[in-house]
Chains A and B, each alone.
Chain A
Amino acid sequence: MNCRGVIEELSSYFDDDLDPQVAADLERHLHGCKKCRVIVDTTRKTIEIYCNAEPVPLPEDVRERLHKALRERLGQKAS
């Protein structure tokens, strides 16, 4: 497998969606190619950073309008 092949299979490799033979070829290439190792590491890191990012707080006015709309539309019972 060459560098372009690694890029094309990258997503499937991360998602564990590669034929074992192809995955082994890819890993063999990575072993000898620093550029591809960096691409693989930084792309994996990109996914992790997004996956782990905490959502910013909901703006208070947006939150108030949401719950007001829900109370009005869903018919809040007396509490």
Chain B
Amino acid sequence: MNAPNAKPAASLVARDDESALVSAAKGGDVDAFQELVTRYERKIYRLALNITQNREDAEDAMQDAFLKAYQHLNGFEGGSRFYTWLVRIAVNEALMKLRKRRPNQVSLDEPVTTEEESFPREIQDWGPTPEQRFARVELNEILTGAVSDLDPAYRVAFLLRDVEELSTEETARLLGISVPAVKSRLLRARLKLRQKLNPYFRSTTS
């Protein structure tokens, strides 16, 4: 294979100055834009993979998100962080892939959950640093596995609020649901994840 070197050429703009990179990219500096992409590609890929649960869709969603971001860069006014702006685009792309691939299976509507289902069972303490019991790769597998088991509606609400740290209002806007619906889904998602992580993290001594 004679693929060209994927590493973008060094930009003339200082690496630590994000707003300068954004300005340069707005002016058509592709190197500056690629520098921004390099900064956030891992997080955007993780987000897309967590939402779509499919590697091919995640890759497409990530590519489309970065292309769209470049095309609409002039719409970014700098009032929020560039990353937050990028997340909005990526979430929309990932949700489109999710709905397209499994229109009949994947509903982002609120699943029917009885109060009993989400009420915590198995109540054991975890000790101060449960995540230190596992190597990073293993921990990532545990976390990804638990998230992928959630209903898509819960999964997406959790990812946007607790992983990407978007506001409740922003999450509601992106998902086209009400603020109370976001809160309800977030609560169920957090409780279900706690339950799923419990077997890995619970204290062995008590």
Contacts and interface: CB of A to CB of B under 8 A. Distances in A.
Report the contact-size class of chain A (Cβ under 8 Å from the partner): 35 or more
Nearest to A8: B187
Given A11-B186, A56-B46, A77-B30, A67 B37 contact: yes
Nearest to A75: B30
Nearest to A37: B125
Nearest to B185: A11
A62 B120 contact: no
Instruction: From A14, A42, A57, A63, name the one whose CB has the most chain B CB atoms within 10 angstroms.
Output: A42
Contacts of B139: 49, 53
B123 A66 contact: no
Secondary structure of the A contact surface, majority rule: helix
Contacts of A4: 115, 119
Interface residues of B, number: 55
Given A38-B125, A50-B163, A69-B67, A55 B194 contact: no
A79 to B, nearest CB: 4
Nearest to B120: A39
A7 interface: yes
11 contacts: A8-B187, A10-B190, A11-B186, A39-B123, A50-B143, A50-B193, A51-B165, A53-B143, A55-B43, A56-B137, A74-B67
Interface of B: 3-4, 6-9, 29-31, 33-34, 37, 41-43, 45-46, 55, 59, 62-63, 66-67, 70, 115, 118-120, 123-126, 130-131, 136-137, 139-140, 143, 147, 158, 162-163, 165, 168, 183, 186-187, 190-191, 193-194, 197-198, 201
